[in-house]
Structure 1
Amino acid sequence: LWVVPRVVLEAFPGVVLLKKKSRDKTIELIVSECRDKGYDGVVLESWSRWAAYGVLDDPELRQLALQFVKQLGEALHSISSKSSTRNHLELIYVIPAPRMEGPNNQDFGPEDLLQLADSVGGFSLMTYDFSGPQNPGPSAPLKWIQYSLTTLLPAKGSASQVHSHMIFLGINFYGNDFLLSKGGGGGSITGRDFIHLLEKYKPSLQWDDKSSEHFFIYSDKGVRHAVFYPTLLSLSVRLDEAQDWGAGLSIWEIG
């Protein structure tokens, strides 16, 4: 059993990336925290924040961002783990899923994966939140998951498929309750909310062949809602896909 807490870099990235002293200080803080608390490493999330700040559109800053992740991974690898199952501290890096409409500068691509592969222990691929309140729909369409894996990795069965075991395919253990009225609305729900809706409205579960997800429709005070929530069948389909690729799993989240 590893304990690898999630660390999110939310500060303005220019401060960390442009100044070597700040980069070194940030890495030192993370490594010290792991050493002091007996952690086995960290799960680092920074790419989506860097994208939001526009860092990844600048080739120089993008390279500095990749270098920071490599430097952190190498620093963690240099520290022996107190766990009997690992020789060194580990870095798992969170990456967004590629866009279906085609890649842009903000996407994490196969070249980025290759650059970091020797410095990180794995990549947590965020294949969830495909839809939102303004575009109600499935959480993680199977075709999107397949597209993400195909974009980042060589073809299935390829002799060069050496990095597939480093991918932890994101699986959502939460659902969404979206309003279907003009303007949209709604948001994520947990299992308790899902059971409550089933008991209160007695809806019929429907299977969406296009996304390989279950959903149901209900009306409340004249407003129609669409609820998408993972079921045993939808999870089984995604587990099969991960197994076909030789990938692992990253679950968000149980609570």
Structure 2
Amino acid sequence: MAKKRDHHRSTQSSGHRENQIKSPSRREKQTKSDSASGTIKIIGFFIVSSLIAVVAYWLTQSSPSQHNESYVYQRGLVTTNTNYQDILNENTKVSENISKRHYTHPVLGYITPWNSQGYEMAKRFNSKFTHLSPVWYDLKSQQTSLVLEGRHNADRGWISELKKTGEALILPRFVLEVSPEELLRKKKQRNKAVDLIVTECKEMGYDGVVLESWSRWAAYGILHDPSMRNLALQFVKQLGDALHSISSEKISGQKLQLVYVIGPPSSEKLLAHDFGPKDLETLSEVVDGFSLMTYDFSNPHNPGPNAPLKWIQIILQMLLGASANRAQNIPPKIFLGINFYGNDFSLSRDSGGGAIIGRDYLALLEKHRPVLQWDKNSGEHVFFYTDDKDIKHAVFYPSLKSISLRLEEARSWECGISIWEIGQGLDYFFDLL
């Protein structure tokens, strides 16, 4: 995925964000961009100005916690006071016992067909995950009928290897590219869509699906209509019920699962298209997990952190703060999104830049040997460099410390996590999982 973050990061292009790392629009930045812009209102103090003129950074040494059995904690690498040389020297090293899980709640990892590294990481660290979601399928319209595209992406050999070496469930991602007016208003079309997805699961031996549709429906503007919004929720319920009627081939007594992709609310006051607490309650009985896209906070036009920690905390409070959601045991079904990609933003007047993955980040460290600074407000590391055209850049990329803080936040709510995407990170990130 050299530069393609597709996934739940935008809404404009097809395939979650397929075009995002592929092109600077990365995951369909249309809806996500709008969403990110809205969210900026929640916490204006995170924005660009603090990036361009980073005035204050607080450096504090972290100490090994209950996870001190892992290599990265033993080496004291989970710290705000990191440097480029440590990253270059240590990023490929992990604990000898790579099968030990440190994060005990659900862990979902996304894999994209354009980034083969993700396939390798899924095999190598299989036991770290409870769910693996290869980004393979799109449901589209073909004249008056529906067609499911993507089986050509499915790698049966890879699936077979995973099933032999680990317990992670395989739930490919399905994106609904069909016009919601066509799909949701016609019972026959809804039934056909559900049948196509369920049949694919049975024929391919999947353990369920990850469904992405809400961002698409928001982009079409249909969620402002109460009747259409209700039909949208009913469709997800119908699919969940259909999957739960089928037994898993892997685990006796278990049914096929449905994980539903949701974006973060766009402001403190929920808008019509936002997926909110009531929607969680409505779908909690038929959805096994909600993949929450808590990343893509910034973009080339508003450069800044990838996913400010305070922003994440606000979102979790909005979605899970209600006592009703706690009572219904919804928090464990939230899979908090953690990005394994970063951004290299140009700070010129014209702005620019976009997503980078692990190998890009390491190349920048090797070339520029920068001083990494810790931004306490966002809970992320950043460094600056000047390119060959004398343009200044700001680079935000995950660090062991930033990931560790987000895992602790998720743990405090008893949430799971979802990672976009596992081929974009550094090897030693997995030592935290």
TM-score by length of 1: 0.96
For 1:235, the equivalent position in structure 2 comes to: 403
SS in 2 for 1:216: strand
Deviation of 1:184 after TM superposition, in Å, equals: 1.3
TM-score by length of 2: 0.57
Deviation of 1:154 after TM superposition, in Å, equals: 2.5
Q: In the alignment, which of 189, 198, 209 is matched to residue 22 of structure 1? A: 189
More strand as a share of residues: 1
SS in 2 for 1:124: strand
What pairs with 1:128-143 in structure 2 (closer than 5 Å)? 128-143=295-310
Cα distance between partner residues in 2 of 1:4 and 1:159: 26
For 1:106, the equivalent position in structure 2 comes to: 273
1:96–1:127 Cα contact (<8 Å) kept: yes
Deviation of 1:43 after TM superposition, in Å, equals: 0.3
1:246 and 2:417 correspond? no
1:125-153 deviation per Cα after TM superposition (whole angstroms, max 9, x unaligned): 00000001110000110011111110111
For 1:10, the equivalent position in structure 2 comes to: 177
Cα distance between partner residues in 1 of 2:310 and 2:180: 33
Give the aligned length. 254
**CA RMSD across the alignment:** 1.4
Instruction: Extract unaligned runs of 5+ from structure 2.
Output: 1-167, 424-433
SS in 1 for 2:343: strand
1:55 and 2:229 correspond? no
1:153–1:161 Cα contact (<8 Å) kept: no
1:154–1:160 Cα contact (<8 Å) kept: no
Cα distance between partner residues in 1 of 2:356 and 2:253: 36
1:203–1:217 Cα contact (<8 Å) kept: yes
Shift in alpha-carbon separation, 1:188–1:123, aligned structure 2, 3 A? same
Task: Name the amino acid aligned to 1:184.
Answer: S
Shift in alpha-carbon separation, 1:218–1:152, aligned structure 2, 3 A? same
Cα distance between partner residues in 2 of 1:100 and 1:208: 23
SS in 2 for 1:182: coil
For 1:90, the equivalent position in structure 2 comes to: 257
1:171–1:251 Cα contact (<8 Å) kept: yes
Q: In the alignment, which of 199, 205, 219 is matched to residue 38 of structure 1? A: 205
Cα distance between partner residues in 1 of 2:227 and 2:322: 31
1:100–1:144 Cα contact (<8 Å) kept: no
For 2:392, the equivalent position in structure 1 comes to: 224
Instruction: Choose between structure 1 and 2 for higher RCO, CA contacts under 8 A separated by at least 6 residues.
Output: 2
1:166-205 deviation per Cα after TM superposition (whole angstroms, max 9, x unaligned): 0000000000011111131111000000000011111110
1:69 and 2:236 correspond? yes
SS in 2 for 1:135: coil
**Stretches of 4+ moved more than 4 A in 1?**
none
SS in 2 for 1:197: helix
Q: In the alignment, which of 269, 283, 290 is matched to residue 123 of structure 1? A: 290
Q: In the alignment, which of 331, 344, 347 is matched to residue 177 of structure 1? A: 344
Instruction: Extract unaligned runs of 5+ from structure 1.
Output: none
Cα distance between partner residues in 2 of 1:243 and 1:85: 29
Q: Percent identity at matched positions?
A: 61
